[in-house]
Structure 1
Amino acid sequence: MRDNDTAILGDGLSILSQSRRQTGDIWQAHYGAAAIAGYFFIKANHLTGKVEEAVAAENRRMLGKYLQPGTVTEESVSVESAESLILAALDDTIDGLHWVGHNVIYAAISLAALHELGGGLCHEATDIAELVSSFVKTIPGRSWIGYSAAEVKRLTLDELDGIPEITDGDQLSAFILNELASYSVIYRAEAHHDLMGHMLTFSHALNILYDLGHHAYFHRGLPGLLKIVKVLRTSNQLDPAEPIRIVSPVDRLPLVEAARSSCLPHQSEYWAGIDGAATDWDFGHLFKFPFSFYHHWNRVSGAPAKAMENFRYIIHPV
């Protein structure tokens, strides 16, 4: 099952499963999700050999830093059994917004890897289910423009938001690309460019669930995603003459506009200008954001060019 072509998927699942045991929190799992994203980014986008090798090489370097050797007997588990465990864990949090959707992101990308591999390891499936369960009672996120985390948690959606009915993955991709295209300025801040990136990855995770046939989870997850959309829309209405309210332990005023990347991740020039280790692979976003953006882009015919342009401000600039 774990041959040379799919070893990265197995390694990504291992990092996801090891995160809480090794670090006591949920964030090292980022790199496991990123490794899986890197694999699928290559597979889904028919990249040239030069780009494919560059992406794979960066992925291997990241895995070399974060993958720890396993010490548990490797009892296998079927896709169906692993999926049942992970979905049961997701059931406890899918109806709310938790850490900008990472409960859904971790669950969905794990399921994508398990389906690609045709199964997994029993202890890893159990650990990933526990990772997903650990999002119960967590905050929506820590960095927001115009809102506190408590206000985001209480945020409701209504007809005045003008959000169209979304019934399937194609409609969600079209909606997300239109949202991304709507921004006239993107700030380099966890509460702005990074939140837009997670709008891409959270919505992509919901599409993975939809495409795997878990339509109820797709629909239950939409309100949490749409809270992010609603908050980001507020940032599009900022008055430069008025003080900006930012609630974040890491972002500071004045906000600085994000740099535009002259190259894009499907181009060899982009990866030639990347030193992943120097930026800690942008916390795994080096792989996750391109995987999710191109998923939406490839899914929609006639996507707005401004979405691709604005994506240049979300990725690590090269």
Structure 2
Amino acid sequence: MPNQNLLEEGLAILSQCKQETGDIWHAHYGAAAIAGYFFAQEHEGDGILSQAIVSQTEAMLNKHGTASLYVNSERCEPAYAESTILAALEQTIDELHWVGHNVIYSAVSLIAIRELQGWGTEEQISGLSELVLSFRKTIPGRSWIGYSVAEVKRLDLSSMDQLQLPREPKELSAYVLEQLAAFSIIYEAESHHDLIGHMLTFSHALNLLYDMGHRSFFQRGQLPLRRLVNVLQASHHLKPGEAIKLYSAVDRIPLEPAERSEYLPTELGYWEKGRSKNEWDFGHAFKFPFSFYDHLKRAGSDEARFIEKFRYIIGR
């Protein structure tokens, strides 16, 4: 089993990022540490691969961890921690906020606390709650192809029949994998490969909530997810060189096609490459594989077309 310190450090980052950095984004590395732990655990049968994942997770934490780890022996009851986090998520679950990070941070915190059989002081659990509450009234995201932020918010989903939405995780996983496979070209951009990756992590987070018995959150979170998916569908059939209507604070025209990863995260070469070349994508190196391979397992499919498209999400 991977060292559970990865979970404790991940939770510490998530709970303290608002206090230490004043914003919500350092939490990205806490979620990545938790993803790294569980992805390594999934591959314990290959000890060398599992250790390589752990080593890269530790390298990320050495750069982006927190100095204030949990040391108090008096942990909150797991039920208290869970109810507190879910009470915060209750206030943000029905809208798309920063491409689903309110749901992602909630779900990974909950699975880590369950794995540890409890974690944190009341103050630290409050920090997790405050992180999730910070997403109230925030934008859907800042980088989009074909839609402005205002247009994303106004996207009409009223005609969507709740009965048409997936009713269990394997259906949702199959749906998002088909969405991934539908792209004719994937651009290396926050508005494209990054957004597609977060489609995978957001939907995975909903599946995790379902696994933990929180089925109403699974259902309610699907409309915000569909808002994200519907925007991405507008770029399914882009052609190289085609004019793109881009709305982004960070991406610039012309967008460059994403690189194809030679190695997959289930291969040692992916981790031997070292994942810190791009600091922000260092976290995605763990989060995206954790979600993608979980979707494959749930859908009962390892179709080459899904795996081939995923290579372009993790190419850097």
Query: Is 1:255 aligned to 2:252, yes or no?
Result: no
- The structural deviation recorded for 1:257 is 0.8
Paired residue type of 2:293: Y
User: Match for 1:120: what amino acid?
Assistant: W
Question: In the comparison of the two structures, how many residue pairs are matched?
Answer: 314
Deviations 1:120-156 (A, max 9, x none): 1122211000000010000000000000111111112
Identity of aligned residues (%): 52
Partner of 1:112: 111
Cα pair 2:184 2:239 within 8 Å, conserved: no
After TM superposition, the structure 1 = structure 2 runs for residues 203-242 of structure 1, keeping only pairs within 5 Å, are 203-238=203-238
Asked whether the equivalents of residues 174 and 303 of structure 1 are also in contact (C-alpha less than 8 Å), the reply is no
Per the alignment, do residues 160 and 108 of structure 1 end up closer, same or farther by CA in structure 2, a change over 3 Å counting? closer
Matched to 1:31, the amino acid is Y
Give the distance between the partners of 1:71 and 1:287, measured in 2 at CA.
Answer: 21
Q: 2:132 aligned with 1:137, yes or no?
A: no
3-state DSSP of counterpart to 1:77: coil
Aligned-residue Cα RMSD (Å) equals: 2.2
Q: Distance in 1 between matches of 2:201 and 2:250?
A: 21
- 1:239, CA displacement in angstroms? 6.2
- In the superposition, the TM-score normalised over structure 2's length comes to 0.94
Superposed structure 1 runs of 4+ greater than 6 Å apart: none
Cα pair distance change 1:155/1:57, threshold 3 Å: same
Describe the shift of the 1:99–1:271 C-alpha distance in structure 2 as closer, same or farther (beyond 3 A): same
**Helix, strand or coil for the counterpart of 1:277?**
coil
Q: Which residue number corresponds to residue 268 of structure 1?
A: 268
The residue number in structure 2 matching 1:175 is 175
TM-score (norm 1): 0.93
SS of the aligned residue for 2:231 comes to helix
Equivalent residue in structure 2 for 1:41, among 39, 42, 46: 39
Cα pair 1:62 1:281 within 8 Å, conserved: no
**Which has the higher mean CA deviation after the structures are superposed, 201-210 or 176-185?**
176-185
Instruction: Provide the rounded CA distance (Å) in 1 between the counterparts of 2:272 and 2:200.
Output: 24
One-letter amino acid of the structure 2 residue matched with residue 150 of structure 1: A
Alignment partner of 1:191 is 2:191? yes
Structure 1 residues 310 and 4, CA, compared in 2 at 3 Å: closer, same or farther?
A: closer
- Name the structure 1 match of 2:13: 15
Aligned pair in 2 of structure 1 residues 8, 27: CA closer, same or farther (>3 Å)?
A: same
| Aligned equivalent of 2:48, options 36, 47, 50 | 50
Structure 1: which 5+ residue stretches go unaligned? none
Give 3-state SS (helix, strand or coil) of 1:76's partner.
coil
Say if 1:54 and 1:154 are closer, same or farther in 2 by CA, change over 3 A.
same
Secondary structure, in 3 states, of the residue corresponding to 1:247? Answer: strand
Q: Work out the CA distance in 2 between the residues paired with 1:256 and 1:53.
A: 33
- Quickly say closer, same or farther: Cα 1:302–1:240, change in 2 above 3 A: closer
Q: 1:4 to 1:53 in 2, by over 3 A?
A: closer
Check the 8 A contact 2:2/2:37 in 1, yes or no: no
Letter of the structure 2 residue corresponding to residue 248 of structure 1: S
CA distance in 2, matches of 1:175, 1:138: 27
Asked whether the equivalents of residues 2 and 41 of structure 2 are also in contact (C-alpha less than 8 Å), the reply is: no
1:286 shift after superposition: 0.8
Q: Which residue of 1 is the match for residue 288 of structure 2?
A: 289
Q: CA deviation at 1:278?
A: 3.0
Whole-Å separation in 2 of the counterparts to 1:215 and 1:292: 19
Distance verdict in 2 for CA 1:45–1:173, change over 3 Å? farther
User: Does the aligned pair in 1 maintain the 2:165–2:222 contact within 8 Å?
Assistant: no
Per the alignment, residue 301 of structure 1 pairs with 300
